[in-house]
Structure 1
């Protein structure tokens, strides 16, 4: 498949370290995962790439009102509307040699390149139709306020005809590329465990609790969980 509006020379990142278990490789992904951060350019996109390259079915979203990227000062963020192609954001940020050098240095252009290699544009969770949201079995949010926004949104949507459970999990993650990379791998570990359940609705609560206990032995990560219905 040819991706339109991809920045020239941008290729899909390689699969992260670690191979999926043999039992998972023998069958296609049975669950659908959603990953969510604020602007759908760093944390949720890192997890999108990691899960997708590992063979899982995944889509990513943001919950902010706009896509906000670090600018030349805290008072000058670069702001784009959701739906603006990553390639268009890249060109805007690299419009002058000075801007290009600055946004390469702070890593924002690299994030736009990665996004462009995976899909057309950032997607906003709240603007996504319920029929598309309901396809997800598990949603991973990468910050507590984003987790709260996802849960609130699911609770205020009109129930669909095929009323079903959606498991919402928070892996609280600082919004920088290094932390996003680390927690992207943590998300993959958790999603592989969920992928292999026989009854997700029955097993997920205990599995997530056990996962948090294991993670807390070597990394301080806040894990929240709630089962919602749509």
Structure 2
């Protein structure tokens, strides 16, 4: 959600998803996580639930702070596999598709790639799937969020360059072809954020 926050604050249309079967948050012990449903349980409900259970524990481990931030960004966590691609949304993604998907864990990247393959490309629209590996803690999330924002800026700059060069003859494929070059330059700036890239189709 940190990447969602920094991208949206920079006026990028952005949507965010989880890929698991449920939202799992740390509990009082490793074998007792707090489990919530995607798409229906709001961040506000999660926040109030944990605050009622053990406010001291969940303040100390940062969960209440994280959920408080998240509930200011969007209503509830959504699951990638339930996303109806091509359906207009209210969050700036009017045509219901995106040009780039960024994951923050290789396991999630694998799930997204597999899911897009299983959807059989009904729209035949290319999408870049990039994994920026970020450790799951507050400090690494801040660094990763800044790195992902810079990647978005670099990709947008490449798209602007191609539009200016081509004028009315612009085609998106010229930008698609520059993504590996942009990623290589970005990786030089952020060597501590290992990245994977492939393409898929909506």
CA distance in 2, matches of 1:214, 1:181: 16
Q: TM-score, normalised by structure 1?
A: 0.75
How big is the alpha-carbon RMSD for the aligned residues of Structure 1 and Structure 2? 1.5
- What is the match of residue 70 of structure 1? 26
Equivalent position SS for 2:14: strand
Mean CA deviation greater in 183-192 or 71-80? 71-80
Indicate the residue corresponding to 2:61 in structure 1.
Answer: 106
What is the CA-CA distance between 1:214 and the residue it aligns to?
3.1
Deviations 1:10-45 (A, max 9, x none): xxxxxxxxxxxxxxxxxxxxxxxxxxxxxxxxxxx1
- In structure 1, the residue matched to 2:137 is 176
Give the 3-state SS of the residue equivalent to 2:15 in structure 1: strand
Q: What is the distance in 2 between the residues matched to 1:204 and 1:134? A: 22
Q: Aligned equivalents of 1:139 and 1:221: distance in 2? A: 16
The CA distance in 2 between the partners of 1:136 and 1:149, in whole Å, is 17
- Where has structure 1 moved over 4 Å in runs of 4 or more? none
Deviates more, 1:55-64 or 1:203-212: 203-212
State whether structure 2 residue 109 is matched by structure 1 residue 147. yes
Normalising by structure 2, we get a TM-score of 0.85
In 1, Cα distance between the equivalents of 2:27 and 2:107?
A: 23
CA–CA distance in structure 1, aligned partners of residues 25 and 131 of structure 2: 22
Listed as ranges, the matches of 1:58-207 within 5 Å are 58-83=14-39, 84-96=41-53, 99-132=54-87, 135-161=97-123, 163-197=124-158, 198=162, 199-207=174-182
CA distance in 2, matches of 1:228, 1:158: 10
Query: In 2, Cα distance between the equivalents of 1:214 and 1:102?
Result: 37
User: 1 or 2, which has the higher helix percentage?
Assistant: 2
Kindly state the Cα deviation for residue 206 of structure 1 after the two structures are TM-superposed: 1.6
Q: Which residue of 2 aligns with 1:228?
A: 200
Residues 4-19 of structure 1 mapped to structure 2, 5 A cutoff: none
